[in-house]
């Protein structure tokens, strides 16, 4: 069984997302613990180098910072972008605890974020609503260097014959996104800008990791 998109959820809803993550901020890290292997596998797709700059798009509480910071080293930079003030407050506390001086935070919707650097890589980990906003994806891509790596990961509908998987995906999605639209192929918007995007599915088709490289300047 493949659930149909609800009409009222035809597009991402910013106010609903802010309310959603206001409620979840205090327990978000615990809720995402089971998905840590997905995060690690997604970040491994970058093969980050010392001195690089990486965008953590929809960074939440900063759960990806440690792996990203380890990859770029002290001479590199991690830029976290997050619209939820409550989530970014937890991210800021994480920076203080770890004494990271090369991690910057931008509290803004991704499509409106003023990013003062051009990056070598961009991570969109469990950021379905962002992937469904073309203007948000476009703003991220504008701030990447030619040849930059882009990795997106998150929930997806499994094939209709795998209805037990979708019965697990549905409540997880309703808790973390405001639109079910595009859940069949959440990476579709990225694929338009990055030809040859590689898509790997995991957990019986209920999770994906999409990775690709921006074209080099001609």
Pairing type for strands 207-213 and 198-202 reads: antiparallel
Report the distance separating Cα 7 and Cα 102, nearest Å: 43
> Which pLDDT value is given to residue 1?
44
Query: Is 185 part of a structural domain of the chain?
Result: yes
Mean local confidence (pLDDT), 183-210: 96
CATH of the domain at 149: 3.40.50.150
* Listed residue (153, 138, 136) closest to 63, CA to CA: 153
What is the residue range of 50's domain? 7-213
Report the distance separating Cα 173 and Cα 148, nearest Å: 29
pTM: predicted TM-score of the whole model, two decimal places: 0.93
Please count the other Cβ atoms lying within 10 Å of the Cβ belonging to residue 150. Answer: 27
Query: Is 26 part of a structural domain of the chain?
Result: yes
Mean local confidence (pLDDT), 187-212: 96
Query: Which pair of tokens denotes residue 13?
Result: 């809803």
Query: Is 1 part of a structural domain of the chain?
Result: no
Query: Is 151 part of a structural domain of the chain?
Result: yes
- How do residues 104-148 score in pLDDT, each as one tens digit? 999 999 999 999 999 999 999 999 999 999 999 999 999 999 999
> Which pLDDT value is given to residue 7?
37
DSSP string, 103-152: EEEEES-GGG----S-EEEEEEES-HHHHT-HHHHHHHHHTEEEEEEEEE
- How do residues 20-55 score in pLDDT, each as one tens digit? 999 999 999 999 998 999 999 999 999 999 999 999
Position of tokens 């476009």?
A: 138
Number of domains in the chain: 1
Report the distance separating Cα 77 and Cα 50, nearest Å: 9
Query: Is 218 part of a structural domain of the chain?
Result: no
Percent of the chain with pLDDT over 90: 90
Position of tokens 């599915």?
A: 201
Query: Is 2 part of a structural domain of the chain?
Result: no
Report the distance separating Cα 213 and Cα 113, nearest Å: 22
> Cα separations (Å) of 138 from 130, 158, 163?
11, 27, 33
Query: Is 17 part of a structural domain of the chain?
Result: yes
């Amino acid at each position: 069984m493949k659930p149909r998109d609800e009409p009222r959820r035809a597009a991402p809803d910013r106010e609903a997302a802010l309310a959603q993550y206001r409620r979840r901020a205090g327990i978000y890290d615990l809720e995402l613990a089971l998905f840590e292997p997905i995060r690690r596998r997604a970040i491994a797709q970058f093969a980050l180098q010392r001195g690089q700059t990486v965008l953590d798009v929809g960074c939440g509480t900063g759960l990806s910072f440690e792996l990203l910071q380890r990859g770029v080293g002290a001479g590199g930079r991690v830029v976290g972008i997050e619209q939820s003030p409550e989530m970014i407050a937890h991210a800021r506390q994480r920076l203080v605890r770890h004494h990271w001086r090369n991690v910057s935070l931008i509290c803004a919707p991704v499509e409106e974020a003023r990013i003062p650097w051009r990056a070598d890589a961009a991570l969109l980990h469990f950021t379905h609503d962002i992937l469904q906003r073309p203007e948000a994806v476009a703003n991220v891509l504008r701030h990447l260097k030619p040849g930059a790596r882009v990795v997106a990961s998150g929930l997806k509908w499994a094939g209709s014959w795998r209805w037990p998987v979708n019965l697990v995906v549905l409540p997880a999605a309703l808790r973390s996104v405001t639109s079910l639209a595009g859940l069949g192929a959440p990476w579709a918007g990225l694929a338009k800008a990055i030809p040859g995007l590689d898509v790997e599915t995991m957990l019986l088709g209920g999770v994906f990791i999409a990775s690709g490289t921006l074209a080099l300047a001609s």
